[in-house]
Chains A and B, each alone.
Chain A
Amino acid sequence: DVKVTQSSRYLVKRTGEKVFLECVQDMDHENMFWYRQDPGLGLRLIYFSYDVKMKEKGDIPEGYSVSREKKERFSLILESASTNQTSMYLCASSLWGYNEQFFGPGTRLTVL
Chain B
Amino acid sequence: DQQVKQNSPSLSVQEGRISILNCDYTNSMFDYFLWYKKYPAEGPTFLISISSIKDKNEDGRFTVFLNKSAKHLSLHIVPSQPGDSAVYFCAASSEGGATNKLIFGTGTLLAVQP
Interface residues of B in 80-114 (CB under 8 A from A): 89, 91, 93, 98-102, 104-107
A64: CB under 8 A from chain B?
Answer: no
Smallest CB-CB separation from B43: which chain A residue? Answer: A103
> Size band of the A side of the interface?
20 to 34
Interface residues, chain A, with chain B CB atoms under 8 Å away: 4, 9, 30-31, 33, 35, 40-45, 48, 50, 56, 58, 90, 92, 94, 96-106, 108
* 20 extra A-B contacts, CB within 8 A, seeds A98-B100, A99-B49: A31-B98, A31-B100, A40-B9, A41-B106, A43-B89, A43-B91, A48-B99, A50-B99, A56-B99, A58-B101, A90-B43, A92-B43, A94-B99, A99-B32, A99-B34, A99-B100, A100-B34, A100-B49, A102-B46, A103-B44
